[in-house]
């Protein structure tokens, strides 16, 4: 039984984009045991992929700020012991950073095993390529999903000319788990917050989209992940309900959600409209019709992708028009979500 380790630690969107790699590997080697090293904050994501056997969480983002503390050293030691009790036939680094390359070198190979990652020209940090036995040319102008898939294809010698399959699925929240989530109407999920202000979209344009969705008969779920995002979401919800008037539907601001529970809400959405964030990319991966709004990143190379309708607009310094987004919303509402088997 081949044992394979994927190293893709962060960020959330990057971990989502790497899921088709695991699906490809399992399709090519059905008896393979695939493990995944990922930042603990995002460990729920590969756990949603039936191709992944074990998730090995790492908390480097937190540990690097407190390496002198005893509890940090203990946690780091526990991680290393977990990592090094396994032996792998392939260790695949599709992140190409010095921190991911360090994990690649710390993990243990079976006799004859291989460490594989992007070559110097392809890696985000060129020195990372020194960690690999096999270096893969992964052109930077490829879509990020294809870049990840290419690492596994080069290592195990299979083709990636088939459509990417994320393989993710998740069980919906029950009424007992989410009494704040009323039934009845279909849900539109709006992701209006982002890690940087440069990614934000003008609030008046969000209101136009929200009103459009209410007139189409959808309740609105406004995601947030920080106090500032919650305040923005509440402000937008109130404004859109006021403008919608008689067409106003329910405005739902959920409590703060874990990544896993957020995925369960996303899986219940009829359509998702969101900024270039991990949750928007996760919506595409979960088969939701998804419209991505980009204002500070390449909307082609990192376009939202998935099995259902997906559209991305904007780019670096390019603000998507309301008309483009509304046109895509109408297309998305005509498309069918693509559901996988529930994961409990």
| Same domain, yes or no: 209 and 320 | yes
Q: Is residue 167 part of a domain?
A: no
CB-CB contact of 274 with 191 (8 Å):
yes
| Same domain, yes or no: 209 and 82 | no
Q: Is residue 26 part of a domain?
A: yes
The CATH number given to whatever domain includes residue 36 is 3.40.50.2000
| Same domain, yes or no: 197 and 152 | no
Q: Is residue 339 part of a domain?
A: no
DSSP letter assigned to residue 171: P
Domain that holds residue 310: 187-334
| Same domain, yes or no: 116 and 210 | no
Cis peptide before 286 (omega within 30 of 0): no
pTM equals: 0.96
**What pLDDT was estimated at residue 341?**
42
| Same domain, yes or no: 147 and 213 | no
**What pLDDT was estimated at residue 49?**
98
| Same domain, yes or no: 206 and 123 | no
- Select from 156, 176, 209 the last residue of a domain: 156
Q: Is residue 258 part of a domain?
A: yes
**What pLDDT was estimated at residue 340?**
56
Q: Where are the beta strands (DSSP E) in the chain?
A: 3-7, 33-39, 54-58, 88-93, 109-118, 134-136, 187-191, 219-223, 251-252, 271-275, 290-294, 310-314
| Same domain, yes or no: 204 and 137 | no
Count the domains in the chain. Answer: 2
Regions of the chain where pLDDT drops below 70: 340-344
């Amino acid at each position: 039984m081949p044992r394979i380790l994927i190293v893709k630690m962060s960020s959330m969107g990057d971990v989502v984009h790497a899921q088709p790699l695991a699906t490809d590997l399992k399709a090519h080697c059905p008896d393979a045991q695939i493990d995944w090293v990922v930042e603990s904050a995002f460990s729920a994501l590969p756990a949603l992929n039936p191709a992944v056997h074990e998730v090995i969480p790492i908390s480097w983002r937190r540990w690097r700020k407190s390496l002198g503390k005893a509890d940090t050293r203990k946690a780091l030691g526990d991680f290393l012991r977990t990592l090094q009790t396994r032996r792998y036939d392939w260790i695949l680094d599709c992140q190409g950073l010095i921190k991911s390359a360090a994990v690649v070198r710390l993990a243990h190979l079976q006799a004859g095993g291989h460490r594989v990652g992007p070559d110097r020209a392809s890696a985000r940090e060129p020195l990372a390529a020194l960690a690999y036995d096999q270096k893969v040319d992964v052109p930077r102008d490829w879509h990020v999903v294809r870049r990840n898939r290419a690492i596994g294809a080069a290592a195990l010698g299979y083709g990636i000319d088939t459509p990417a399959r994320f393989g993710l699925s998740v069980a919906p929240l029950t009424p007992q788990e989410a009494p704040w989530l009323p039934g009845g109407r279909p849900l539109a999920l709006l992701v209006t917050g982002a890690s940087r202000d440069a990614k934000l979209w003008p609030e008046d344009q969000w209101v136009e989209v929200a009103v459009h969705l209410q007139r189409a008969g959808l309740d609105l779920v406004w995601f947030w992940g920080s106090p500032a995002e919650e305040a923005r979401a509440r402000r937008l919800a109130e404004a859109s309900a006021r403008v919608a008037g008689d067409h106003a539907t329910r405005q739902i601001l959920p409590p703060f959600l874990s990544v896993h529970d957020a995925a369960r809400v996303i899986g219940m959405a009829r359509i998702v409209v969101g900024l270039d964030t991990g949750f928007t990319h996760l919506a595409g991966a979960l088969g939701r019709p998804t419209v991505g709004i980009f204002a500070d990143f390449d909307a082609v190379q990192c376009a939202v992708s998935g099995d259902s309708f997906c559209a991305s607009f904007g780019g670096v310094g390019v603000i998507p028009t309301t008309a483009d987004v509304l046109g895509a919303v109408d297309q998305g509402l005509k498309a069918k979500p693509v559901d996988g088997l529930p994961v409990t």
